[in-house]
Structure 1
Amino acid sequence: MRTIFKKGWRPVLVIILLLITWEASSRLFEIPSWLLPAPTEIVQEGIAGWSNYNHHILSTIRLTVIGFSIGCSVGIIVAVALHLMPTVREAFYPLMILSQNIPIIVLAPLLVIWFGFGMMPKIIVITLVCFFPIAVSAMEGFRQTSHELMHYMQMAGATKRQIFFKLELPHALPSLFSGLKISATYSVMGAVISEWLGANQGIGVYMTLASSSFRTDRVFVAIVIIMALCLVFFSLIIGLEKLLIKWRPKGEAERS
């Protein structure tokens, strides 16, 4: 943690310099606000328009949490099932890879046709975005379990159930949390994309309305909110990882 704080000032300094350059360029070249608003204008709109988008934030958070929870559950179940059944893994793993080659933005209209404009297609979009990184990371963690330790437990008479819960699952937790970190950020993106399908509330709706009315400052406000939500979800996963995985070496924990 101390190492993170020591190195953390560098990206903050870069961001500050970029904002200063952005602000100076907007004023120097007199760039129209509808084309590229200055950072100060975005901040002013973010403060003044809080009442216009605060309910959208809550809607997006709710949708993200529901979709992320379902996506995590599906990803872990799929990973465990494919790990315990090698024959099934050989048959379905290539199909799982192919499913990720279909752009979500293309699949979204089909989900609306099949399931309507309710909550179901939105949750499916977030689930599809989240489950793959989790499933692949968990399966990779299972695969990298120490063969020496597994052989030792087999020699000691451990059952397959004991080997899975006492060796393979704990060993896969670091890889699983790597997938959870990726999915945590993807889930917010999936929620915003799903809100473009025809929701009544959400940051995606707020962004669409702002874009159609050429309120570029509001579009940037929505982008900042999305980035903030991604950072919050990512930080929560990191905190949960540190809480659950206390047996990792100190150096390895700092590098993650």
Structure 2
Amino acid sequence: MQPEKQPLWRSVLYPVIAFILVIGIWWGAVEFYQVPRYVMPSPADVWAHILDDYRTLWIGFQVTFKEFLIGFVLGAVSGFVMAVLMDTSKTVRGVLYPILIVSQAIPIIAISAALTIWLGFGLAPKLVIVALVVFFPVVVNVLDGLRSVDGDLLRLARSMGGTRWSIFRHVKMPATLTPLFSALKLSATFSVTGAVIAEWSASTSGGIGAYLMQANSRLNTSGTFAAIAYLALLGLVAFVLVILVEYLLTPWRNKPMVPRWSTRFWRK
């Protein structure tokens, strides 16, 4: 029995109500306690700063979004390929899996300086940092999905003449989609943080992270909150894009009848 789906209007209304509540509590607290503007600006102050410096913020948003998008795709693709290789070969899995686990104990900010020295101050170190944030969750989740496939189902597919490619495409690949998109949803927000860290350590082309650092150094709290608002917008856009791709690639999770166009993806 499938869980009851809530109407679309509720899916839109509830986040809007939550957003209004947060803004209202924030605004009310600042006004009621007479908080100095250099300590905590009101939503009106932040909005005024966004309007005054809209062009610079928008250009920075585009730069950070480019870094995020390319790095996110690189991390997701390389993580997926690595998980498939580790599932195919026990030797590869036994050698690489411990290395991957140990690598996660190293904070990204600790290697950002080294990446800047190795790769320079251009786009490359930023892409690597964002990709690293996405890489490990994708590898772990996809590998778990591949190893969770029922062995009897695999033996049945082989007995029916299925090749390694056809078994992967029609049996294993669908099993990876749910854990894959779970990892991508988490990484969509975490990788925004990775992009900011990358801009702090290797920024010569602007970006919201660089804008945030400049605003902090000038004690410009309105500018700081404006940059945070744009980063929140970037995280929201990233999360929605992942959900959209998930909806297109897994239509059977949302509708009892699969659209005709989607069956072509899985057709032999």
Q: Structures share a fold, TM > 0.5?
A: yes
Q: Output the CA distance in 2 between the equivalents of 1:205 and 1:10.
A: 33
Matched, 1:103 2:107: yes
Mapped contact 1:177–1:237 kept (Cα < 8 A) = yes
Mapped contact 2:112–2:125 kept (Cα < 8 A) = yes
Matched, 1:116 2:124: no
Partner residue of 2:220? 215
Partner residue of 2:261? none
- Give the superposed CA RMSD: 1.8
Mapped contact 2:126–2:202 kept (Cα < 8 A) = no
Q: 2:55 aligns with which of 38, 51, 54?
A: 51
Q: 2:170 aligns with which of 160, 166, 169?
A: 166
Q: Output the CA distance in 2 between the equivalents of 1:152 and 1:223.
A: 53
Partner residue of 1:206? 211
Matched, 1:238 2:238: no
Mapped contact 2:60–2:208 kept (Cα < 8 A) = yes
Partner residue of 2:140? 136
Matched, 1:37 2:41: yes
Partner residue of 1:75? 79
Partner residue of 1:254? none
1:14/1:61 CA distance change after superposition, 3 Å = closer
Q: Output the CA distance in 2 between the equivalents of 1:192 and 1:6.
A: 33
Q: Output the CA distance in 2 between the equivalents of 1:120 and 1:99.
A: 20
Please list the CA deviations of residues 1-45 of structure 1 after superposition, one character each: whole Å capped at 9, or x if unmatched: 644643554454343223222212212222111111111111111
Q: Output the CA distance in 2 between the equivalents of 1:73 and 1:87.
A: 21
TM-score by length of 1: 0.91
Please list the CA deviations of residues 95-123 of structure 1 after superposition, one character each: whole Å capped at 9, or x if unmatched: 10111111111111121222222222111
Q: Which moved more, 1:55-64 or 1:3-12?
A: 3-12
Mapped contact 2:200–2:210 kept (Cα < 8 A) = yes
Q: Which moved more, 1:30-39 or 1:177-186?
A: 177-186
Q: Output the CA distance in 2 between the equivalents of 1:22 and 1:166.
A: 51
TM-superposed CA distance for 1:128, in Å, is 0.8
Q: Secondary structure, in 3 states, of the residue corresponding to 2:161?
A: coil
| Count of residues paired in the alignment | 251
Q: Secondary structure, in 3 states, of the residue corresponding to 1:37?
A: coil
